[in-house]
Amino acid sequence: MKYYIAISVVAMALFTSCASKQATSERPVTDTFQIVHYNVIIAPDFSNRLNSKLYPKPVNDMEIVQDVLGRIYPDILNDKRSDNQQDVFSVTMINKGLISLYDIDMSRMTIDFSRFDKQLDRINFIKDRSDEKLSVAKTEFLQEYKRVTQASIADTHGADLWSFFNSGLSDLKVKTKSEYKSFNGRTYEHKFRNILIMLTDGYIEASLYGEDACLTKGQCYYLSSQSIKDFRKAFKKSGIGDMQQFFQEEEYGIIPVKNPVLKDVEVLVMEMYDRSLSPAGNATVHPTDEEVLQLFWSDWLEKSGVKKYELHKTVNSTREVNQVISSFLGIEKSAS
């Protein structure tokens, strides 16, 4: 392993010194070798869902974020690559106003490997052999995330999920363009998988409600507990046996957003919380809130044009968190 790293360092030192001068966003006519990097964006819903007394869960958001950061090395950084990783791991706010309200230092919740021009500097950072250390960066990331979480629990402001998908995600955060670098007669295309990890209960409850927040009776900008109850009641009254059929025929749904960057975004929604279950986890109504949430969200994300999505209910253990994230990313946990 030591010999491998040494060879990699020398090779990439040459690569970065030469290739960085030849970087371009235009696709060359020569044969191109594609390298895919990860842009992992964590978007937490800082609403009353974080109140464990109201909505108890086996695994909290902090543990999910810890799992993501714990996977950075070696699992993600070494996925189909051995060097020159450009991966970025960060948090974005669904409600941008919270940044100033809670005095959030967003730089503390960003780990960016693309800032290293030399592979040796990147390795020293990963291995904690320089003034800047990955272990310290992860600790600071978690400390700031915990501080913001505690502040939001004490002073809740909701989460405007619809506006976030419509305009809160832009090409400033989502990496949509490839970068081409040439070295030793070969051209390398560096592109990104934009992975958006949404931590939300699935209820879209901000400040918009009622007729003013709807285009039609069934098409609205929100999806509240009450609107789910109303949908369930109308479905049962209709006499139609298939909920999907009723949903389509009556033209229900969350109003789709129009954001072109979503075609380059893969959305992993975690921690969808079923408020219709009893404290013991038994269904109190049918269809359950979870079934309705899945229906509305699937329709919304598809019509909004996201590249890929998965919807997951609250997990029961950190091991399950690990399995969900690994499966979505398509990577295996390292044996080392």
The more confidently predicted of residues 6 and 292 is 292
Q: How confident is the model at residue 165 (pLDDT cuts 50, 70, 90)?
A: very high
Give the separation between CA 228 and CA 234, rounded to whole angstroms.
10
Q: Is 159 helix (H, G, I), strand (E, B) or coil?
A: coil
Tokens of 117: 């021009």
User: Residue 217: is its pLDDT beyond 80?
Assistant: yes
Q: How confident is the model at residue 1 (pLDDT cuts 50, 70, 90)?
A: very low
> Kindly report the CA angle at 76 between 117 and 321, in degrees rounded to 5?
145
Torsional sign, CA 17, 18, 21, 27: negative
The predicted-structure confidence for 75-125, as pLDDT tens digits, reads as follows 999 998 878 899 999 999 998 899 999 999 999 999 999 999 899 999 999
What pLDDT is stored for residue 184 in this prediction? Answer: 77
Numbers of helices and strands, H then E, in the chain: 10, 9
Say what percent of the chain tops pLDDT 70. Answer: 88
Which residue, 11, 13, 27, 9, is CA-closest to 182?
A: 27
What pLDDT is stored for residue 172 in this prediction? Answer: 86
User: Residue 7: is its pLDDT beyond 60?
Assistant: no
What pLDDT is stored for residue 28 in this prediction? Answer: 54
What pLDDT is stored for residue 82 in this prediction? Answer: 79
Element holding 253 (H helix, E strand): strand 253-254
